[in-house]
Amino acid sequence: MKNIWIICRRELSSYFSSPIAWLLLTMYSVIFGWIFWNFLAEFIKQGIDMEMMGQSSPMNLNEQIIRPLLGTSSFLGLFMIPLISMRLFAEEKRNGTIELLATSPVRDIEIIIGKWFSATLLYCWIILFASINFLFLFRYGHPDWKPMLITLLGVFLQGAALLAIGTFISTLTKNQIIAGALTFGACLLLWVFSWVSSYDSSSWAQVFSYMSVITHFDTFDRGVLSSKDAIYYLSVIFLGLFFTARSMESLRWRS
Amino acid sequence: MITVQDLTKRYARTTAVDHISFSVSKGDIVGFLGPNGAGKTTTMRMLTCFFPPTAGTATVAGFNVFEQPLEVKKRIGYLPEAPPLYLEMETIEYLRFVGRLKGLAGADLEKRIAYVLDRCAVADVKTKLLGKLSKGYRQRVGLAQAIIHNPDVLILDEPTAGLDPKQINETRDLIRSLAGDHTVILSTHILPEVEQICEKVIIISKGKLVATDSVHNLQARARGAESVLIEVGARGGEFAAGNVQTRLQKIAGVSRATLREEFQNGAVFEVEASKGQLVRGDLARAIVEAGWDLNELRPAAMSLEEIFLQLTGADASKKAEPSPEPAESTDAPAPEANA
């Protein structure tokens, strides 16, 4: 446990001492803020329009701003995740620092969890930082904070699961670009798997649809805390880290 | 302190380390000598539990590297060939991280950091980024990280490779000064380095153990047949190299005299004596008595390659023929794999 924290802290400080964390933080905040601005402007315009026409259909901050925005941010995460996870092991392998870790009195699994956890913390931090925008909604309106938190949790879980896959892919190569590209491909694939369900309902289609990260995000997106979908994400995390451990072990036997 | 028994590492097609056995006792400083690709790094990586051996056992401080790797790792400080530095970290930040990783904490940790900063002479760069340090400093920070947890055993992979002569000397001094507290194994392909630092040598070539011996014995063994270089000159201007050569060959105990280099009024000869004969005095006397000038007389330094030829070549020629099944070829250089 202590070792996990030692590794995790070093990874975090390395993210922030290289430009990568700041770059992601800035770019994500700008894009998130721009989308927030657009949704908000549309919301206000709709409100004014309705008032002018004398209609009064119900308007909802949660449904019209928070939910679509977090849905978009789970999509934006696809682009961010490879950039976060690609260096985890690839960089260590290239610099030879993996020799330090592998010959220190720590277990492989502690190294792996420490690294994955630091990536997940960075990812959550970036999302939370961008979510400051929501404070304006709470200042001037009364959105429901409970479904918002659940959707955020869904975004976090989805990120953590994809980062576990990225961690595994990062052990396969010492080239960060290759690790990043492969992770991006894997993320996209897990995304588009869900499309099959729109025209096909055979058992194969159901399997692919179940494998897709987006299928399981739906319930969180609706503000429903579903243990079934949480378990899907947790199993992907477990599987990703398990493969990482196997990959590290085979690295030792093969090299 | 370290016992190695039939240690073997096989890759798909090559055998990098082939049944090596040796032992190192506490406080020794041992040189691990061999040409590039001999299997030095592979052996060290097995000792440090970086990867497991294919066959054989190794114990460090009583713990088996395969069964109790965590215990072994606690007692080993390892400096790989390329110092494992995180280039975006500051020196002190890096040492703190490694110290924590090795199980130090609190006041103990700070004390050890202060100690290694001083001991490895890196205190003046403690707030610099590792990426901005020169090669010599990086090497010393690498050493500092290896000794931070005061390990029983220090394993150093080519600690002086790529340094300039001044840095090499400093690093050698540092390693020698560490020997008192730690058992040290260092790999190198430079013979003088072993002569300067080590008490004991383990020589491997193509994955096989060639010799383990004390430095003194090894030198004696390598120079079994004494060979000297002499430069002979003539002031009078009448100088015939052939005359000198025949004169030299007549001296009792000289097995061969070859002309190495000839210039206007002199020449350099290499004189080989038969085994066990000391002929330097006789050579000098003979030349002076014949009226020539003795400009230089020095033992022909044996290069590592020559020692290898002597130690491996002789063995190979003897064994190769009668052996019914010749040892599997390990000619391909062991992949000093970047794992």
> Using the beta-carbon criterion (under 8 Å), do A104 and B73 form an inter-chain contact?
yes
User: Under a CB-based contact definition with an 8 Å cutoff, are residues A96 and A174 in contact?
Assistant: no
Contact with chain A for residue B263, Cβ under 8 A: no
Contact B51 A253 (CB under 8 A): yes
- The pair phi, psi for residue B20, each rounded to 5°, is -95, 135
Question: How many Å lie between the alpha carbon of B42 and the closest alpha carbon of chain A?
Answer: 9
Using the beta-carbon criterion (under 8 Å), do B78 and A6 form an inter-chain contact?
A: no
Chain A contact for B50 (CB, 8 A cutoff): yes
Q: Determine whether the interchain pair A93/B339 forms a contact, defined as Cβ–Cβ distance below 8 Å.
A: yes
What are the residues whose beta carbons fall under 8 Å from the beta carbon of A159, sequence distance 6 or more?
Answer: A74, A77, A81, A120, A123, A124, A127
Q: Does B66 touch chain A (CB under 8 A)?
A: no
Q: What residue spans of chain B are helical by DSSP H? A: 40-47, 69-74, 91-101, 106-119, 135-147, 165-178, 191-197, 215-222, 241-250, 280-289, 304-308, 314-320
The residue ranges of DSSP E strands in A51-174, in sequence order, are: none
CA distance A199 to B129: 57
Q: Residue A181: pLDDT band by 50, 70, 90 thresholds?
A: very high
A126: nearest Cα among A26, A205, A204, A210: A26
Q: Give the whole-number percent of chain B exceeding pLDDT 90.
A: 26
Selecting from A14, A96, A252 the residue whose C-beta is nearest the C-beta of B82 gives A96
Residue A160 is classified by DSSP as H
Angstrom distance (rounded) from CA B287 to CA A167: 75
| ipTM over cut 0.85 | yes
Find out whether B21 and B33 touch, Cβ atoms under 8 Å.
no
φ/ψ of B38, rounded to 5, equals -80, -20
In three-state secondary structure terms, B45 is helix
Rounded average pLDDT over A41-54:
87
Among chain A, residues having any CB pair with chain B shorter than 8 Å are 3, 6-7, 10, 13-14, 17-18, 93, 95-107, 174, 251-255
Q: Is the pTM of this model over 0.90?
A: no
Could you tell me whether strands B76-79 and B63-64 are parallel, antiparallel, or unpaired per DSSP bridges? Answer: unpaired
What's the pLDDT at A117?
A: 96
Phi/psi of residue B205, each to 5°? -145, 130
Closest partner CB to B98 (pick from A100, A107, A252): A100
**Other C-beta atoms lying within 10 Å of the C-beta of residue B203:** 24
Task: Give residue A32's pLDDT.
Answer: 93
Q: Do B50 and A102 make contact, defined as CB atoms within 8 angstroms?
A: yes
Which tokens is A150 given?
A: 């659940």
Of A60-64, A81-85, A217-221, B58-62, which range is least confident? A60-64
Q: Where does residue B187 fall: left (phi above 0), alpha (psi -120 to 50 degrees), or beta otherwise? A: beta
pLDDT tens column, B165-183: 888 888 888 888 888 788 9
